A and B are shown apart, each in its own frame.
Chain A
Amino acid sequence: DTGVSQDPRHKITKRGQNVTFRCDPISEHNRLYWYRQTLGQGPEFLTYFQNEAQLEKSRLLSDRFSAERPKGSFSTLEIQRTEQGDSAMYLCASSLPVSGYTFGSGTRLTVV
């Protein structure tokens, strides 16, 4: 296992389109996190899963955002009707309950 994998690395989309990102965590990690990062800021928490259960969602996660983790393995983050303000780096991380996070390299979204 080589770590947390995110796909795609870069995505350019037109405003109003839907986009979906995928995260493959480290296989034995039961926790999976999504963060968003804009230029000059630290990563902001969006949501997290323990196995397939979504345990917490940030208020940043508007109703245009949805995340899933079917069967407690990979996760997807979908943004519907994208807006220019959604342009950011979307980071996924996984962990065991009492350990540090391992982050992926992120998906950079540009909405034009």
Chain B
Amino acid sequence: DAKTTQPPSMDCAEGRAANLPCNHSTISGNEYVYWYRQIHSQGPQYIIHGLKNNETNEMASLIITEDRKSSTLILPHATLRDTAVYYCIVRVEAGANSKLTFGKGITLSVRP
């Protein structure tokens, strides 16, 4: 699986949009971009995933650049409960080798 690069940490003000960047310059054509987050002492939680089109769900939006070498996870109105480690992962979706490989992620701190 392609590797991803994320800054170690960032913060944002409560109520503002949080834009979390991820670089995946070696992504292959059949690899999806997945985002998970992990709140302290809990298991990771699926947020969103996409191939090349932008995606939106009730939690977040995923913007993937046209060349697919980077993406941004957007939390439109961050709350204190969004403070967590966010993992950007690229993954082949089908087949026996479709496991998730986690890096260190980015720690988002939402301040009041």
Contacts and interface: CB of A to CB of B under 8 A. Distances in A.
B112 interface: no
A85 interface: no
Interface stretch (B17-25, B63-71, B93-101): B93-101
A43 B46 contact: no
Contacts of A73: none
A55 B43 contact: no
Given A91-B43, A98-B93, A98-B94, A33 B99 contact: yes
Interface in A29-57: 33, 35, 40-45, 48, 50, 55-56
A55 B42 CA distance: 26
Nearest to A35: B102
Contacts of A50: 96
A89 to B, nearest CB: 8
Q: Is the interface of B mostly helix, strand, loop or mixed?
A: loop
B92 to A, nearest CB: 10
Contacts of A42: 85, 87, 102-105
A74 interface: no
A56 B99 CA distance: 10
Interface stretch (A11-19, A62-70, A75-83, A100-108): A100-108
Interface residues of B, number: 23
A26 interface: no
Given A42-B87, A98-B94, A93 B43 contact: yes
- Report the 10 A-B pairs with minimum CB-CB distance, sorted nearest first: A103-B43, A42-B102, A100-B46, A43-B102, A103-B44, A98-B93, A91-B43, A105-B43, A104-B43, A106-B43
Given A33-B100, A42-B102, A100-B36, 14 more contacts: A4-B43, A35-B102, A43-B102, A44-B102, A45-B99, A45-B101, A48-B99, A56-B96, A93-B43, A100-B34, A100-B49, A101-B46, A103-B44, A106-B43
Interface of A: 4, 33, 35, 40-45, 48, 50, 55-56, 91, 93, 97-98, 100-106
Interface of B: 34, 36, 41-46, 49, 85, 87, 93-94, 96-105
